[in-house]
Amino acid sequence: MIISNFLSDLARSIFVFWSWCDGLTQSPTTRVSPPTLLAATFLAISLIAWLIKKPFTSHVPPLPPGPPGLPLLGNLPFLETDLHRYFAKLSEIYGPIMKLQLGRKFCVVISSPSLAKQVLKDHDAIFANRDPPIAGVITAYGGHDIAWSPNNPEWRKLRKIFVQEMMSKTSLDACHALRRQEVLEMVKEVYAKVGSAINIGDQMFITILNVIMNMSWGGSLHGEDRIRVGIQFRQVVEEVVDLLGAPNISDLFPALARFDLQGLELKTKKLLSWFDRIFESLIEGRAKDRQDCGEKKEGKASKDFLEILLELKQNGDGKSSLSMNQVKALLMVCRYQSSFSSLLS
């Protein structure tokens, strides 16, 4: 009712204004040029819009406080190396919730347990969507994995498949003997090099990588390949992790993304092609094995993660079917497990 009355009053005011202007143009003593008349009309409408803007937007809550920034750049020039310490200092000034403008991206920083509980638990569904960096979208085959995809039915489907088929108690118990065997092999290699320098981080990474590879697609590294390929795999993984965490101008200023000023997008695509060749080879080899055998494996315990994913791609219904990019993205999630082990070791 209020809006209707307002629109009626506005229309009546404009009609009166135009009538007055028309009277001026028709007066024999006063002539108003069309450009002047148009400018006066625009000024009047702008003034009315400015006057009515506040009542209709007063219900919008104000933004949290935050440090002042520069035009266009925002707070980017003032960020410090240790972000957690920098945020802690700002929270003493602006409180437990504050805003930062990083280029064209608006960020809200929280620094209290109660607010963290509201964001991460009480209202998790609202805050669950991600704003993935360009490197994350590329390594996830367009955002089709669990880490970077938005909170929607597709994400819940992928998470359910991964948790049930890869991380369930049954799957972990089934590879107990494998984990024991890989640890014993690592100890054997370390014992054989007594008296010489050993990179324990590489040894731990290769051991975990072998377990994950065996669970994922039934393969592992042995002999000379265990060290040579394993170290190469770790180097590529670490490069991907570095690119995911690197500040990217394209992420902060999306309008500049097409130019890839730092070359991070190109570097990420090259690294992804390395993984993609491995995944393509595995998938083609598994398809050839199926064709040669002419029959599927029997018993769920004998199937690795790749076998389950390919079956869902080929025979899954609407609720569980997967695309090829989703299959590769879930295999990439297994690679992320190696990434975390690499960082920890």
pLDDT of residue 34: 57
Local confidence band at 109 (pLDDT 50, 70, 90 cut-offs) = very high
Compute the distance between CA of residue 331 and CA of residue 145 in angstroms, rounded to an integer: 9
CA angle (84, 88, 93) in 5-degree steps: 150
Residues 9, 105, single domain; the answer is no
Q: Is residue 147 part of a domain?
A: no
pLDDT (tens digit per residue) in 13-65: 555 445 545 554 454 444 545 555 565 566 666 666 655 555 555 566 788 99
Residue 333 within any structural domain of the chain: yes
Task: Indicate whether 169 and 43 sit together in one domain.
Answer: no
Q: Has residue 133 been placed in a domain?
A: no
The answer on 175 and 47 residing in a single domain is: no
Provide, rounded to the nearest whole percent, the portion of the chain with pLDDT above 70: 72
Task: Report pLDDT for 149.
Answer: 87
Lowest mean pLDDT among 12-26, 171-185, 209-223, 326-340: 12-26
Range of the domain at 317: 153-344
Could you report the per-residue pLDDT of 258-307, keeping only the tens digit for each?
999 999 999 999 999 999 998 898 888 887 777 766 554 444 445 788 88
Residue 119, pLDDT score: 92
Q: Is the pLDDT of residue 66 over 50?
A: yes
CATH of residue 166's domain is 1.10.630.10
pLDDT band at 3 (very low <50, low <70, confident <90, very high): very low
Question: What are the backbone angles phi and psi of residue 84, rounded to the nearest 5°?
Answer: -65, -40
Structure tokens that stand for 275 in this block: 């993984």
- 269 and 181 in one domain? yes
Q: Does any domain span residue 81?
A: yes
Q: Are residues 262 and 332 in the same domain?
A: yes
pLDDT for 98 beyond 90:
yes
The backbone torsions φ and ψ at residue 110, rounded to the nearest 5 degrees and listed phi first, read -115, 145
In a domain, 68, yes or no: no
Contacts of 218 (CB under 8 A, 6+ apart): 304, 306, 307
- Say whether both 261 and 327 belong to one domain: yes
Is the domain of 165 the same as that of 285?
yes
DSSP string, 18-86: HHHHHHHHH-SS----HHHHHHHHHHHHHHHHHHHHHHHHTTSPPPPP----BTTTBTGGG--SSHHHH
pTM for the whole structure: 0.73
Task: Judge whether 221 lies within some domain.
Answer: yes
Domain identity same for 279 and 193: yes
Indicate whether 18 and 121 sit together in one domain. Answer: no
In this structure, the answer to whether residues 112 and 51 fall within a common structural domain is no
311 band by pLDDT with thresholds 50, 70 and 90: confident
Same domain, 120 and 163: no
Is 138 a domain residue? Answer: no
Read off the DSSP letter of residue 167: S
Does the residue 141 lie in any domain? no
Residues 169, 160: Cα–Cα separation, whole Å? 14
Shared-domain flag, residues 52 and 95? no
**Number of folded domains in the chain?**
3
| pLDDT, tens digit, 9 for 90 and up, residues 110-142 | 999 999 999 999 998 888 887 899 999 999 999
Average pLDDT, the chain: 79
pLDDT, residue 32, reads: 46
> pLDDT-derived band of residue 256, with 50, 70 and 90 as boundaries?
very high
Q: Which residue from 20, 313, 55 is spatially nearest to 161, judged by alpha carbons?
A: 313
pLDDT at 30: 47
pLDDT band, residue 221 (cuts 50/70/90): low
pLDDT at position 299: 45
